[in-house]
Structures are given as structure tokens and as C-alpha cells.
Amino acid sequence: MADNGKILVVDDEPIVLRSCERILKSEGYSIALATSGQEAINILQKDDYDLVITDLKMPEVDGIALIKWLRNSKPATGVVVITGYPSQETIKDALNLGIIDYLPKPFTPLVLIDVTAKAMKMTMVRALPEKTPEEADVESKTAALEKIIAENRNRPGSLIPVLQQAQGLIGYLPPSVQRHIAKGLNIPVSEVHGVVSFYSFFTMKPKGKHSVKVCLGTACYVKRAEEIIEKLKATLNIDVGEVTKDRKFSLESVRCLGACGLAPVVVIDHTTHASVDPVKTPEILKQYE
């Protein structure tokens, strides 16, 4: 399954391209190949990639020219360079252009996998937005967040408890909070982001004043739960996982709320609404206006 990110590998040596493709595909990346800098630019003009792994020495449009083009046209794309016998100057030029890392030829599969995984993680972290409008709320809670971090700073395994308390305080864990915690605990942001995205009980999105959960478990599904969710999406004008503009409602789908005898079930805040008729969902919402 290729869902770990999209990578474009650029090299004028077909054997290097083929081995990178084989190794990286087996790690779950989606791979495209280009045999020259110009071909890479043509591909990148049509599609976005998370990471470009490129040789430096290529005829006509070389690796440095490609990286310069990327910095201007696709600044969010991460770059790793492959190079045979790099001079200090070449590496300095590439580093000045913001490359993440470099792979000295010849490299082993393990080195390729390791450098790619780190570069992909860094690219994802860089892509986190600097600040969202919702994060303005967060600033008012900075002192309390600092206290949580200070109380846990030197405790082993403190990251998850800190994240739980921070989410309890703020309601969710936006990128600015993740960066704050990483700095406070002196660990990489990528580690914090990795834990937040791994555990389903952490959320990076704010919740509405009222949280609407629609059960899509089997018992509810066969009793038109999907129609309920479609009706709620249309009434609230949001998708699942989103919050209304006035931040009154957030909509989630869940798997079995343990009340199958009451199917189909919608839970709003702490109230269970049983045997919900899809047509009547707007009336239920009115109780929370």
C-alpha cells in the first residue's frame, strides 16, 4: 500500500532509479521516476510530491538547477540529494538551498530507507501551518500549558501525559501547541507530531461547543445511519471531522457506541438520541441552538 508519501526520484543512471524505486515502494511510498532535471520539472509542473530525491550531476538541467526551481515553484517540497564524490562547495550550495539531507553514492538500502524516512518526517512537519485562526484561543492558555510542561519536564515517558493534559486544557492539539510541547520537553517536533497522529484519542482539530457523534457501527448502519450523517452534513454545512463556522457544532462518525439496541444512535455532548429518524435530525439540533 503506497500511502507513506509521494516521492520523485531523479537520476540519469537507470540502475539507480530502478533500485530506489524497488526499495522505496516496499516501504509504502508512491514513486515516480525522472532521468533528467528537465523531465523532473515537467513532472512536477503537473503534480505535487512530498519529497524529491535527486542526483546532482546530470546533463543540461542539473540537480542544483532543479533544486533552485523547486525553491521558487514548490517551496514545501523536501529535497534529498544523491551525489557521487561531493565537494564541500557542492554540498554547501545544496545546503544553502535548503536540502534536508544527502546520500553519498553508493548507498545501501538501509541508508536510503533511513534518510528517506527522516526527510519525509521533516517535510511533513514543515508543512504544518504556522498559525490558524483557532490558535488565537491557545495563546490565552499558554501559562497553564507551561505549568503542565514544567511539572513533567524531567519525568521519563512524560510526552503522552503532557499531551493528554494539554488536550484537556485546550480541547485539541494544534501545530503551535505541538511545537510548544516539543520545545518544553526538549524533544523533536516530529516525535510529538508522530504520537499525536498515531493515537486516535488525540485530535488536531478544534471541537464545536456541541459535539455530534453519529454511530456507523453495523446495527446503526443497517438502520439508515448513513442517511442521518448526510442530513447532518447538509444541515450543518460541514463535512465529518469539521466544525461549523460559528463553532457551535462539530460532527464525527464513530464505530459502535455500545447502545445497539437503540439503533440508530446519535450522541450529542453526553446525551444519547435513540432510534433517530434521519428526516428529524434538524429538529434534534434545534434543542442545542
Give the interface with ligand FES as residue ranges (CB under 6 A).
Answer: 215, 217-220, 256-257, 259-260, 263, 265
Report the nearest approach of ligand FES to the CB of residue 191 (Å): 35
Provide the minimum distance between the beta carbon of 84 and ligand FES in the complex, in angstroms, as a whole number.
Answer: 59
**Residue 248 · residue 206 · CB < 8 Å:** no
Question: Minimal distance in Å, beta carbon 273 to ligand FES?
Answer: 12
Compare residues 66 and 257 and give the one whose CB is closer to ligand FES: 257
Residue 90 corresponds to which cell in the numbers above?
557542492
Nearest to ligand FES of 117, 262 (CB atom): 262
* 27 touches 116 (CB < 8 A): yes
Rounded-to-integer distance, Cα 189 and Cα 180, Å: 9
Number of residues in the chain: 289
Q: Which residue is nearest to ligand FES (CB)?
A: 217
Cβ 167 to ligand FES, closest distance in Å? 25
- Contact between 162 and 149 under an 8 Å Cβ cutoff? The reply is yes
Min. distance of Cβ 225 from ligand FES in angstroms?
7
Q: What is the DSSP string of 70-128?
A: HHHH-TTSEEEEEESS--HHHHHHHHHTT--EEEESS--HHHHHHHHHHHHHHHHHHTS
Instruction: Please identify, using beta-carbon distances, which residue of 31 and 265 lies nearer to ligand FES.
Output: 265
Closer CB to ligand FES, residue 187 or residue 262? 262
Q: Are 30 and 23 in contact (CB under 8 A)?
A: no
| Closer residue to ligand FES, CB minimum distance, 191 or 230 | 230
